[in-house]
Amino acid sequence: MRVVIWAVVAAVCLLVSATPSSARGPYGSITVGNWKGGAFTDDKSGAFTHCSAGSTYQSGIFFMVAIAENGSWRLGFAHESWRLTPGEAFPLALTFDGQPAFNVYGMPLGTTLVNVEMPVNSNLINQFRKARQMTAFAQGQLFQFNLNQTGQLLPALLNCVMSVKKNGVASAGEFAVAAKPVAAPQAAPAQSAPNPPQKQARGGTGTGFVVSSTGHVVTNHHVIDGCSEITGNLSGEAPVKLRLVSSDETNDLALLQAPSPFKDVAKIRQNAIPVGNGVVAIGYPYHGLLTSDFTVTTGIVSSLSGILNDTRFLQISAAVQPGNSGGPLFDLGGGVVGVVAAKLDAVRVARATGSIPENINFAIKTGALRDFLDNSAVQYQTAEWRDASKRETSEIAKDARGYTLLIVCKVNEQSAGAKRGN
C-alpha cells in the first residue's frame, strides 16, 4: 500500500503543478493521528506545488487531502483492487453526516487512484470541513471515512502552504504544531481515521427490517459501522438494544439480533424482479425532522444494475433520503426485492453534467441478501411473485409496520478510537 500512497501523492502533484512531472517530498512533516504528509515540489522545476496528508483506512482505501499553492483543494482516493481507465470520468457519491449526497466526477490517475477537485467556497467543501463522517459510493461499494481530527488536519495543511510560500521548503518543519490558523476552516472536530479517544457521543439513524422468527434484523453495514450501541424500534414502540451478529462491508449488509422475537417477519422474494416493475420503499428518512413515523414512496425498477454496471444493485425511481438506508424495498405483492442502499443527488449531477436526472437510487438485490443470510445461518421466509398477488400500497405499508424498524446508532469517540487501535 505504501507504493499506492506515493503514487497518489505523485499524481496529485501532476495536477497542481504547471508542468507534468512527479512529486518530490515530503518536506517537513504533518502528523495528525494516522494522517501523515508534508510539503511537495515539482520534481523537475523544484517549485512548491502543494501540501498533503493521507491515511489508510480499514477498507483498504488510502484517502488523501491536498491543498495546492494557489489555494485549491483536492481529495485523493486509491484502492489496490480498483481497475480504472485514466481519462474517463469516475463517478462518486459523497455523503457527509447523512446529508444529501454530492455526486461528483473524479479523474482517474493510473488504474488504482482517482482525484476529486473541491471547488473553493463551494457547499461541498464546506460540508467536508464540518463533517464527522463521510461515506463514498464508488465502484458499486460503500466506503466510510471517520473524519475526526480534520479540525486539526486542515489548519495544519493551510499552515504548511502559507509557511512554505513565505519561507520556502528549506525552512519546512512540523506544520501540525502551527500557531492558531488565521484562515483555517471552522471545522467541528470531525471523524477521521486518526482520532484520539474522546468522550463525545455521536451517531445516526437508518432503517432495518425483521427477517426471521427468532428476531434477526437486516440493515446496511454503513448504518451500524463503528456503533458502540445499536437500538431499534417499530413505529410507536419503545426501542430495544440490538446485537451485531455479522456484517459484510463489501455488499453493505449487516445482521442484528433483537433480545426477543417480533410478531411479524418480512418475506424475501425468490425470483428476480423485472425491469419496469413497480416497487415500494419504506423507511425512516430525516427521522425527527420531518416525522417520527416511517414514510412510504413508490416507483419502478429503472435498471437491473447500479453504478458502473454493478449487477448486485437495482436502480430504482422510488424516492429515498438519508435515513432510508437499510430499509426494505418491496414488489407490489409485498415481497422484499431489495435493501435500500444509496441515492444520487439530482442537483449535484446537473451541475456536473448539465442535465437533470430523475430519481436515481439504488437497492441491494435479494440475491446478495439471501447469500448473506444463508452464510449467517438465518432461516428466513420467502415469497414468490404472482400477478394475482398484487396489492394496494396501503396494505403493504400496513404489514410493514410490524417488521420495519428505526435503527439508531450511538458512537462515543472512545469506542471509535479503540476500534481503530489508537
pLDDT tens-place string over residues 287-316: 766 667 899 999 999 999 887 778 899 999
Statement to judge: residues 303 and 395 lie in one domain: yes
Statement to judge: residues 382 and 415 lie in one domain: yes
In whole angstroms, give the CA distance from residue 206 to residue 358.
23
Statement to judge: residues 112 and 205 lie in one domain: no
Range of the domain at 152: 2-177
Statement to judge: residues 221 and 282 lie in one domain: yes
Three-state DSSP at 236 gives coil
- The yes-or-no verdict on residue 85 having pLDDT over 60 is yes
Please enumerate in sequence order all residues whose Cβ is within 8 A of that of 358, keeping only pairs 6 or more positions apart, or say none.
Answer: 317, 346
pLDDT value for 241 = 95
Tens digits of residue pLDDT in 378-395: 999 998 877 557 899 999
Domain limit, last residue, from 120, 148, 177:
177
Statement to judge: residues 163 and 242 lie in one domain: no
pLDDT band of 413, cuts 50, 70, 90: low
Tens digits of residue pLDDT in 105-159: 788 877 888 888 876 656 777 778 777 778 887 766 677 787 767 767 888 888 8
CATH for 402 = 2.40.10.120
pLDDT value for 372 = 93
Sign of CA pseudo-dihedral 221, 227, 231, 234: negative
Statement to judge: residues 128 and 204 lie in one domain: no
- What is the pLDDT of the chain when averaged over all its residues? 78
pLDDT value for 388 = 55
Asked whether residue 188 is domain-assigned, the answer is no
Percent helix, percent strand, percent coil in the chain, to nearest 5: 20, 40, 40
CATH for 31 = 2.60.40.1880
Tens digits of residue pLDDT in 245-261: 999 988 999 999 999 99
Asked whether residue 291 is domain-assigned, the answer is yes
- Domains of the chain: total: 2
Minimum mean pLDDT range among 65-74, 169-178, 314-323 = 169-178
Please enumerate in sequence order all residues whose Cβ is within 8 A of that of 401, keeping only pairs 6 or more positions apart, or say none.
Answer: 234, 235, 294
pLDDT value for 419 = 44
Statement to judge: residues 204 and 261 lie in one domain: yes
pTM over 0.85: no
Please enumerate in sequence order all residues whose Cβ is within 8 A of that of 268, keeping only pairs 6 or more positions apart, or say none.
Answer: 211, 335, 336, 366, 369, 370, 373, 380, 381, 382, 383
pLDDT band of 165, cuts 50, 70, 90: confident
More confident residue, 413 or 272: 272
Would you list the DSSP string of 51-112?
A: EEEEEE-TTS-EEEEEEETTS-EEEEEE-TT----TTS-EEEEEEETTPPPEEEEEEE-SSS
Amino acid at 379: Q
Statement to judge: residues 101 and 212 lie in one domain: no
- The yes-or-no verdict on residue 197 having pLDDT over 50 is no
Statement to judge: residues 147 and 214 lie in one domain: no
Please enumerate in sequence order all residues whose Cβ is within 8 A of that of 309, keeping only pairs 6 or more positions apart, or say none.
Answer: none
Statement to judge: residues 149 and 202 lie in one domain: no
Asked whether residue 184 is domain-assigned, the answer is no
Statement to judge: residues 222 and 313 lie in one domain: yes
Q: Are 196 and 33 in contact (CB under 8 A)?
A: yes
In whole angstroms, give the CA distance from residue 196 to residue 236.
38
